[in-house]
């Protein structure tokens, strides 16, 4: 049995009260309640919606219990520590990715050193291009 409670004023303005056609995952069916209300403008509708919202919030604050903090939470933890943890995790993951991805600075420097240490280079004909290419390779 689903009950609807209302004061005499809204009860006389009740337009229809069917069971809501959409399931919402509960073992109870929701009831859709429509009242006849005279409104002149959109501003009146917005004002009524604001009043209704404020009323529902006030009643729920007064009568719905707040959840207590879990005994497993760290009461000493704060937003500053969260920001530090996120920063630390970011830099740790970045360093790990660089090492795993072969982006090792020392390895790149060794490879660059090997490229520039040759005594001369050869062009397509097999002749040495001389010191100018060596200087270019070393500078780059």
* Residues 139, 124 contacting (CB under 8 angstroms): no
- Work out whether the CA dihedral 126, 128, 132, 136 comes out positive or negative: positive
pLDDT at 88: 96
Mean pLDDT over each residue of the chain, to the nearest integer: 73
Phi and psi at 129, nearest 5°, equal: -90, -10
* Residues 86, 94 contacting (CB under 8 angstroms): no
Average pLDDT (42-53) is 84
Average pLDDT (61-66) is 86
Whether residue 94 is predicted with pLDDT greater than 50 in this model: the reply is yes
Alpha-carbon distance 71 to 102, whole Å? 45
pLDDT at 104: 62
Average pLDDT (48-52) is 87
Higher pLDDT, 63 or 123: 63
Q: Nearest-5° angle of CA 38, CA 41, CA 46?
A: 90
CA dihedral defined by 58, 60, 64, 69, rounded to 10 degrees? Answer: -80
Whether residue 122 is predicted with pLDDT greater than 50 in this model: the reply is no
- Alpha carbons within 13 A on the beta-carbon side of 93: 6
Higher pLDDT, 57 or 119: 57
pTM: 0.31
Q: Report the percent of the chain where pLDDT is more than 70.
A: 67
Alpha-carbon distance 119 to 128, whole Å? 10
Whether residue 69 is predicted with pLDDT greater than 90 in this model: the reply is no
Whether residue 8 is predicted with pLDDT greater than 60 in this model: the reply is yes
pLDDT at 120: 46
């Amino acid at each position: 049995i689903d009950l609807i409670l209302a004061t005499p004023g809204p009860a006389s303005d009740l337009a229809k009260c069917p069971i809501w056609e959409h399931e919402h995952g509960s073992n109870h069916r929701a009831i859709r309640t429509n009242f006849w209300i005279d409104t002149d403008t959109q501003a009146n509708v917005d004002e009524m919606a604001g009043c209704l919202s404020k009323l529902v919030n006030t009643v729920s604050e007064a009568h719905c219990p707040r959840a207590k903090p879990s005994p497993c939470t760290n009461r000493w933890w704060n937003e500053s520590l969260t920001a530090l943890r996120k920063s630390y995790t970011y830099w740790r993951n970045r360093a790990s990715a660089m090492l795993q991805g072969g982006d090792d600075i020392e390895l790149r420097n060794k490879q660059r050193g090997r490229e520039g240490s040759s005594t001369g280079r050869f062009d397509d004909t097999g002749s040495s291009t001389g010191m100018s290419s060596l200087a270019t390779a070393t500078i780059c």
